[in-house]
Chains A and B, each alone.
Chain A
Amino acid sequence: MRYALLLIPMLCSAADFATEIRPLLARRCFACHGPAVQKSHLRLDRRADALQGGESGIPAFEPGQSEKSLLIRYVSGTDPKLVMPPAGPRLTVAEIALLKEWIDAGAEWPGAEVSAAPKVDPRLAHWAFHAPRKPVEPSVRERAWVKNPIDAFVLAKLEAKGWRPAAAASDADLLRRMYLDVTGLPPTIAEQDAFRGDWDGLARSLLARPAYGERWARHWLDVVRYGDTNGYERDEAKPQGWKFRDYVIRAFNADKPFDRFVVEQLAGDELPDRNAETLLATGFARLGPWDDEPADPAEDRFDQLDDILNTTAQGFLGLTLACARCHNHKFEPLLTKDYYGMIAVFNGLVRPRNGRTELDRPIGIPAEVDRFNERERQIAALREPARRAWLQSGRSKLSPEAMATHRQTKRVPKELEREWAELPVEAYVARLKRETPDLARGYFMEEPKAVPKATHILIRGKASSPGPEVGPSVPEVLAKAQPSFALPGGRTSGRRLGLANWIASRENPLTARVIVNRVWQWHFGDGLVRTANDFGVMGDRPSHEELLDWLAVWFMDNGWSLKKLHTLILSSNTYRMAKTGNAPYAAEDPENRLLWRMPYRRLEAEAILDSALAVSGRLNPKLYGEFVYPKMQKEALEGSSDPGKVWKAFEEETASRRAIYYIVKRSLMVPLMEVLDVCDTSRPAAKRQTTSVAPQALQMFNGDFINRQARHFAERLRREASGQAAQIELAYRLALARRPSAAERDAMLSFLRTSSLEEMSRVILNLNEFAYAN
């Protein structure tokens, strides 16, 4: 009997596939994982399929290594939640032993070659997975309309339908459009007066203003799920977290090449020329929400890694790789091992903290940080024995109870703090601090070791079910060869730098396309690919594939310069079209996919608030710095678990800054921002929504912010113009950058007979035209 033989395995030859293994598999497994049905996409009747594994992406068995084989793990029921077969009796000890023996002997599968024809996945041919090549500019009939190649690509598609682009926007409309688009602020009267028709000069001038960075940084902050707090129960401000926001503003203003921008955010600490700025950039990994009281700390660790991976994959690559955490991606050619290969890249990162207290870190060039850390070590070595001696000396005036509490909790009461400050050792400490001054601090993760701990594929994504070990890798579908992840002699593993350099390379088929498409979306409202975070098989097909590729290659050829890209777009006739309707075109192409006109789109929450401040004359132009708490109605705090403490509003002038400086508090968003569709901050946001519902109108019409600006606006009108007609004209020019029509002036004059200038100002700030530039 077989069973008897198993007792002396040394003498036994490998289990026979045809007579023993296959019948066993057929009897107990094929009903669900056989020729007819493949539950979880697993098929066990063909060797190649079994080795490919099911949706977990893990092979059913590893020839020669039964102890690592999923099949054995499942049938032997080591994890009570993962037992196979799910119905009927469990496999017997003898049957399991038979399978082990067969696998250990190499899992011979006679005749397997015949059935192992390699399958070619048609999804691999997907357009976005292959590097863009610069297409030839198409020829068009109406050459005169073509100012640059963008126009040629757009016009060619219109002409193919026999259509014509919309007429050019009026100068007044275009002026306001460009100001709002580039800086998020309307043109002042002086700027309107001074403008002489030099559009390209205007674009250059606007792009050179700090206000450009304040507007466009906000777009990027949407993508990287920026928030100033962690969310969940405590929802506390992240110490120095706002410096990442300032880093982004500065990067846009300095026109930091986008490839460098990518590398700094992912691996600024691994760069040979790392410095304070590149360290702050790595705050990227630490921007997301995290639970301060996680249900399961091991799972929580992977949830945080998932957050970094997902933001990286969607933000830079337009890939929904995070869907491959528990199983191979259901729709994209992305595998679980691709996912965990990327997890391995980030697995060395740790979040500096002390219990539930988040810690920041000193920033500087490596030598400075080393000196500072050495100073801190020396100070601790001096202070510790001196303080211990003080407590033992009996000279402390601390009450015995306070002393006991201190011993137990390690918390230092104020009184003890004062006593310690008097100790002689502090003189030495002060000298050390003079010799090596404090460094500025920043908020980012750290990679403390050059060799991170091993990363395993997690079966069904569960931290408690580690599968095979994987090293760092990038998704196979995108890379002919894996990049190098080594950093010889480095303090860190160099894995993130390897990933970053690969993402920021010309060979990467996605990076340039994805950012070029985002920039297009931020100018036009919709991207050429409307799913800005998803360029995969499930993503939107580009409306103008050749234009997208042309722009991507052009962008790389031009040093990944965003300002050059803006300049190109702003100088096109496509951008300068009017927003006028066209009924026949709209009937055929209601989504304006062919760009037969410039589309309407509402300004984002920030631009609406900033414009209102600019118009009222109360915009505080201060750049950078810690976030501000704007005024919030008491009623708005009723839903908070700490209504009395949660929000300490700043006084008006300090708070009247651009909305990018408002605190992004995850559990309590500023209501006016929220109702104006500010983005979700928990995941990378592809695009702002635009909704118009009654509560929004209530806040815009009755709310404190707009009404306060309306009052300031009215005061300004009285101050700067005399007589109602002049005040109306000034109001229109300030708010809408145009003069009122005669009918509009009459309507306003008639309104002012019974109503105040404040009420007129309120109406103007609520006009559709105020929120939707022409």
Chain B
Amino acid sequence: MPTKKTRRDFLWETGGGFAGVALMDLLTRDRVVSANSILAPKKPHFAAKAKRAVFLFMNGAPSQVDTFDPKPELTKRSGQAYKGPLTVGSNGRAIGYLMGSPFEFKPRGKSGLPISELFPHTAKFADDLCVIRSMHTDTAAHASGCLQMNTGSIFLGKPSAGAWVTYGLGTDNQSLPAFVVMTDPRGGPIGSASNWTAGYMPAAYQGTLFRSGAAPLLDLQPPAGVNDKTQRQSLDLLHKLNTEHLASHAEDSELSARIASYELAYRMQMEAAAVVDLSRESATTRERYGLNDRLTADFGRKCLMTRRLLEKGVRFVQLYSGGGHIEDTWDGHNDCITNHKLHAGETDKPTAALIEDLKATGLWDETLLLWGGEFGRTPTSEGVGKPGRDHDWHGFSMWLAGAGVKGGQAIGATDELGFAAVEERVHVSDLHATLLHLMGLDHTKLTYFYQGFNQRITGVRGEVVKKVLA
């Protein structure tokens, strides 16, 4: 039976019920952990290594046979027509011929995990990567595909994985957003904010867009013409008047939570600005993340900011590679080869630098990395005479790495040509169950009562992929 949502649950969800005075005491400490906040840290269901997660979202859908799923048979039969039982491609687009990958796969690391030459830097960490080659999803369209990968459902209005994790674990640092999203300068993913929404949960759990530039958060800086001294004076006046109002009226947890939110905002203003200030990072670091190269500078900056956000206790970070439409994303309909060289080229070096830094700082043991897009791409070319690839939702690859993950392995398999997952099939919901499990959350217990029943990110599906676990 589901538990009915009671006022008590509501108070738990919003963290209410504490007196404002005690809260203000907490606020004066260095690291603000507000017991009154809806985002106060919560214990996981069971002990787990991963405390934080990073989702490297390869928007537009990378091709499995060009990245992490080598297919010699496909290469051998390159140029032949496809005569299989599957529905191939999307939207009635014409199907061409089988198209082997032009990218060389080499066994990497001690494990010998094969990785394509698109990722020379990331390949150095092959022994840390756990590739799932047998992913599959329910849809061939970007909008519903991105929704499913992010929220577990092809329908609009469901909370994203980052929102679920934030709901489940809260966050350690109240002066930074719990769940940060960074999109591509070419645009957001299709569906935009639906992909990091809190859906039917309170807006506090939704992803906060960290924007480019010195003020990463919307309205982070005081309005033009207001200096920091005036800002502080205004906040002090507001605080004084609100506190008097609270005292002369009823004690009320909502009123005191709102008072606290202004103080947290003030701290956020400083802390967020500090986090995006990369000027004090060494030249070597900047070089490792590719900040000096136009190709890698944007994703490199985002990866470096990710490291800094993780250091500050941010719970969930999602980075998008690719934005807008078609070739501006991994959506290589016209020329998948050039497309993937570009997008892999933009992301490979920064991703490796992030892994390297996390290992160096010890955060690696507490941080989970997830890499992949909304589905995969066909082993056939799209149309005839152009090296594009269409959408493939029957089979694709993703990888996990970091805390709690057994690296240096590939789980599951697609058929000999790479069309569909055939062995140890892993549905998107299984991936979500595994992600939550790695963070100490049981996907069947992490529920939110809405529309008459206990909702889950996995709906009625989801099995933890045991082989992933270290």
Contacts and interface: CB of A to CB of B under 8 A. Distances in A.
Pairing of A with B: yes
Interface of A: 231-233, 235, 289, 291-296, 303, 310, 314, 320, 322-323, 330-332, 530-531, 533-534, 536, 538-540, 579-582, 586, 590-591, 597, 600-602, 633, 635-636, 638-643, 666-669, 671, 674-675, 677, 680-683, 689-699, 701-704, 707, 743-744, 747-748, 751, 754-755, 759, 762-763, 766-769, 771-772, 774
A773 B143 CA distance: 41
Interface stretch (B41-49, B72-80, B226-234): B226-234
Contact of B144 (A291, A642, A771): A291
Nearest to B7: A591
Nearest to A598: B250
A233 B143 CA distance: 5
Interface in B268-305: 268-269
B450 to A, nearest CB: 8
A694 B323 contact: no
B25 interface: no
B222 A702 contact: yes
Given A582-B250, A642-B187, A693-B39, 15 more contacts: A289-B157, A292-B143, A293-B144, A310-B451, A332-B452, A534-B452, A538-B452, A600-B252, A639-B196, A667-B192, A696-B265, A702-B220, A702-B269, A755-B230, A763-B238
A222 B181 CA distance: 28
A323 B452 CA distance: 8
Contact of B261 (A639, A640, A697): A697
Interface stretch (B133-141, B351-359, B430-438): B133-141
A669 B193 contact: yes
Interface stretch (B112-120, B208-216, B307-315, B420-428): B208-216
Contacts of B169: none
Given A695-B177, A702-B221, A295 B138 contact: yes
B154 A291 contact: yes
Given A233-B191, A579-B249, A636-B218, A697 B265 contact: yes
Contacts of B215: 635
Nearest to A225: B157
B38 A690 contact: no
B217 interface: yes
B86 to A, nearest CB: 15
A37 B287 CA distance: 64
Nearest to B39: A693
B61 interface: no
Contact of B4 (A294, A538, A690): A538
B335 interface: no
A152 B189 CA distance: 56
B460 to A, nearest CB: 8
Given A675-B203, A677-B203, A694-B264, A600 B38 contact: no
Contacts of A294: 141, 144
A225 B281 CA distance: 48
The 10 A-B pairs of least Cβ separation, nearest first, read A320-B452, A682-B157, A581-B250, A295-B139, A697-B265, A233-B143, A639-B188, A293-B141, A694-B264, A702-B219
Contact of B155 (A600, A682, A698): A682
Contacts of A674: 203
Contacts of A762: 234
Given A639-B209, A697-B265, A751-B237, A768 B255 contact: yes
Contact of A640 (B2, B140, B188): B188
A641 B324 contact: yes
B37 interface: yes
A309 to B, nearest CB: 12
Contact of A641 (B222, B255, B257, B323): B323
B204 A693 contact: yes
Contacts of B208: 695
A597 B252 CA distance: 12
B264 A640 contact: no
A769 B248 CA distance: 12
B24 interface: no
A768 B258 contact: yes
Interface string B344-374: 0000000000000000000000000000000
B157 A683 contact: yes
B251 A314 contact: no
Contact of A231 (B1, B156, B183, B202): B156
Nearest to A702: B219
23 contacts: A233-B141, A233-B191, A294-B144, A331-B1, A536-B452, A581-B250, A600-B250, A641-B188, A641-B191, A641-B325, A671-B218, A683-B200, A694-B264, A694-B267, A698-B265, A701-B234, A701-B262, A702-B269, A704-B219, A707-B223, A748-B237, A762-B234, A774-B249
Contacts of A581: 249-252
B226 A759 contact: yes
A668 B193 contact: yes
A600 B254 contact: yes
Contacts of A668: 192-193
Nearest to A597: B250
B237 A682 contact: no
Nearest to B17: A590
Contacts of A769: 245
A295 B141 contact: yes
Taking each of B174, B226, B257, which has the highest tally of chain A beta carbons within 10 Å of its own beta carbon?
B226
B203 A691 contact: yes
A639 B183 contact: yes
Given A640-B192, A698-B265, A690 B254 contact: yes
A579 B139 CA distance: 52
A755 B234 contact: yes
Contacts of B259: 768
Contacts of B5: 531
Contact of A772 (B138, B193, B251, B254): B254
B453 interface: yes
B339 interface: no
Nearest to B147: A232
Taking each of A332, A633, A768, which has the highest tally of chain B beta carbons within 10 Å of its own beta carbon?
A768
A187 to B, nearest CB: 19
B334 interface: no
Nearest to B141: A293
B265 to A, nearest CB: 4
B262 A643 contact: no
A744 B241 contact: yes
A331 B257 CA distance: 36
Taking each of A579, A677, A695, which has the highest tally of chain B beta carbons within 10 Å of its own beta carbon?
A695
A697 B191 contact: no
B28 interface: no
B230 to A, nearest CB: 6
Contacts of B250: 579-582, 586, 597, 600
B38 A693 contact: yes
Contacts of B156: 231-232, 289, 666, 682
A701 B183 contact: no
Contacts of A767: 238, 241-242, 245
Nearest to A322: B451
B412 interface: no
B98 to A, nearest CB: 25
A768 B144 contact: no
Contacts of A677: 202-203
A294 B143 CA distance: 9
B213 A635 contact: yes
Contacts of A748: 237
A755 B226 CA distance: 10
B143 A683 contact: no
A638 B254 contact: no
B244 interface: yes
Given A289-B157, A641-B192, A680-B200, A694 B265 contact: yes
Nearest to A754: B233
Taking each of A675, A680, A682, which has the highest tally of chain B beta carbons within 10 Å of its own beta carbon?
A680
A19 B277 CA distance: 82
A669 B199 CA distance: 12
Contact of B212 (A530, A579, A638): A638
Nearest to A681: B157
